[in-house]
Amino acid sequence: MTKRNRMLISRLGMDAHWRGSIVVAKALRDAGMEVIYGGNQMPDKIVDAAIQEDVDIIGLSSLSGNHMILAPEVIEILRSKGINDVMVVFGGTVPPDDVPKLKEAGIAEIFGPGTSLKKIVGYFKDQGYL
């Protein structure tokens, strides 16, 4: 049985690198995910949109190096609102030393540059969302 599969994809902060998030959004949509594209947003607006859209997953994207500040902030805001059942994943450039720190902060999975669309879609299939 698959879980509900509504996902919000947003780029963190003022990151101008849009292509990867659009490509991933389309691949997930084509695989059966209901994707809401939020564009550039700060953490509080991402959480507001996630609540308004009643999503199951938040996909964050950043190539600008703000991941260690803004990604955990999304998790903190979700938890402060009592939301513990929304999965948060991250796509973008993350130095290897930051991966465990992001996972410890609550990021479920990290997809670095060059991760295949097949692997990303497969992850959500393995998690029961597709």
Does any domain span residue 10? no
Condensed to tens digits (0 to 9), the pLDDT of residues 60-107 reads: 998 777 888 899 999 999 999 999 999 999 999 889 999 999 999 999
Total structural domains within the chain:
1
Does a structural domain hold residue 79?
Answer: yes
Rounded Cα–Cα distance for residues 58 and 61 (Å) = 10
CB contact at 8 A, 33 and 60:
no
Gap between the Cα atoms of 31 and 74, Å rounded: 26
In a domain, 96, yes or no: yes
| Assigned domain for 27 exists | no
Domain that holds residue 75: 40-57+67-115
Cα-only R_g, the chain:
13
Q: Would you give the DSSP letter of residue 4?
A: P
3-state secondary structure of 121: helix
- Residue 84 sits in a domain whose CATH number is 3.40.50.280
Cα–Cα distance for residue pair 120/123, rounded to 1 Å? 5
Structural domain contains residue 100: yes
Give the tens place of pLDDT for each residue, 12-33: 987 667 788 999 999 999 999 9
